[in-house]
Amino acid sequence: MIGPAILVEAPGLLATVQDRGRPGRAAQGIAPSGALDRGALALANRLLGNTRDAAALEITMGGFSAVLLPSGGPARGGGQPGVAPREADEPREPRGLWIALTGARGDAEIDGRGFGPNQAVLWPFGTRLRIGMAVAGSRFCLGVRGGVDAPIVAGSRSSDVLAGLGRPPLAPGDALAIAAEVAGPIPAAEPVPWGVTRALLEVALAPGPRADWFAPSASAALFGEPWLVSNDANRVGMRLLGPALQRVREGELPSEGMVVGAVQVPPSGLPTVLLADGPVTGGYPVIAVVAAASLDLLAQARPGERLVFRRALP
């Protein structure tokens, strides 16, 4: 392997390579995938001077640790710390990899020294990066200068955990190479507002195609009751716990096209929100669709957390 490599010791619950995904291929049966918290990915890439197409690690709930191995050959996009304005007297030879941690909040450290989120940080060669358990949010985005490398499948390095496309989820002992998706120097530090943890997540819903399959009481419950994020939540979908949504029509539909954010209601009456790796077609009626602006927020919802739905502005 040429260039530095990230040697994964512990991936935590689930760690995958994600970029902006593979939109526009649903007609071939291929899901959009990509980072669930797209804002966190975009921020990490901007902090690191990467292109928008650079891939990062999506780390679910934390518990991640890895060691950075130095270059075995000429460094690629990752190891050029000299370009960082805050390190003007940086030696020519790279001595590490610039990284940025965005998305969920939790303790993070390099060889025991803590570092904060939403900033470019140098990860020196030979040291160990640890990300503790998330204390707010559920998905960390670990960006690296140049992006994480992985086979490009249908135009994306993203891992699709349902269809098995892209690099499989990380396992202990995996070594990750660094790509060269660099757009420019690492920008001067910019102020990034920290997310405020809310007691109750508020998620906007737009109308779905099969709202008429449900009783009026279902709409009242959907918008009037708090919903609990169940443990059955992953990149494919998120099952919510609350009052069963009453149908006025029974049975299943012939499968029809689905979108990210579709709120499907199986016969149990408990809704499932489809996420980026969800099936591109499905046979359960969709009562509503999570507004695009709320998807990043929903991606950070934790099992056991409560959320409320409100109507999206038209």
Partner 1 sequence: MSRAGPARLLPMGARAVLVELDGLDEVLELAGALQAARPPGVVDLVPAARTVLVQIDLDRLTLAQARAWIEGVAAGPRSGVGGSGGAAAPARSHLIDVRYDGPDLAALAAALGMTSGELVERHTAAPWRVAFTGFAPGFGYLVSPAWPFDVPRLRAPRTAVPAGSLGLAAEFSGVYPRQTPGGWQLIGTAATRVFDPLAAEPALLAPGDLVRFRAAGA
Stretch 3-32: interaction string toward partner 1, x if CB under 8 A: --------------------xxxxxxxxx-
Of the candidate residues 179, 291, 299, 307, the single one contacting partner 1 (CB under 8 A): 291
193 lies in the site for partner 1, by CB under 8 A: no
Q: What's the Cα-to-Cα distance from 104 to each of 82, 138, 165, 311, rounded to whole Å? A: 29, 5, 25, 26
Q: What six digits make up the tokens of 31?
A: 């899901």
Closest to partner 1 by CB, 26 vs 180, is 26
Q: SS3 helix, strand, coil % of the chain, rounded to 5?
A: 10, 35, 55
Asked if 45 and 143 count as a contact pair (C-beta separation under 8 A), the reply is yes
210 lies in the site for partner 1, by CB under 8 A: yes
280 lies in the site for partner 1, by CB under 8 A: yes
> How many residues bind to partner 1 according to rule CB under 8 A?
38
Of the candidate residues 14, 67, 177, 206, the single one contacting partner 1 (CB under 8 A): 206
312 lies in the site for partner 1, by CB under 8 A: yes
Min CB(247)–partner 1 separation in Å: 17
Closest to partner 1 by CB, 245 vs 258, is 258
φ, ψ of residue 293 to 5 degrees: the values are: -65, -20
Site for partner 1 in 37-66 (CB under 8 A): none
Biggest distance spanned by C-alpha atoms of the chain: 70
Stretch that binds partner 1, among 38-46, 108-116, 222-230, 289-297 (CB under 8 A): 289-297
Report helix, strand or coil for 20. coil
Closest to partner 1 by CB, 59 vs 153, is 153
Q: What's the Cα-to-Cα distance from 36 to each of 79, 119, 216, rounded to whole Å? A: 27, 20, 32
Q: How many CA atoms lie within 13 A of 314 on its CB side?
A: 1
Residues ≥6 apart with Cβ < 8 Å to 266? 272, 284
Report the C-alpha gap between 257 and 39 in whole angstroms. 26
Min CB(76)–partner 1 separation in Å: 21
Site for partner 1 in 163-182 (CB under 8 A): 163-165
User: For binding to partner 1 (CB under 8 A), which residues are involved?
Assistant: 23-31, 151, 153-154, 160, 163-165, 206-210, 254-259, 261-262, 279-281, 286, 289-292, 312
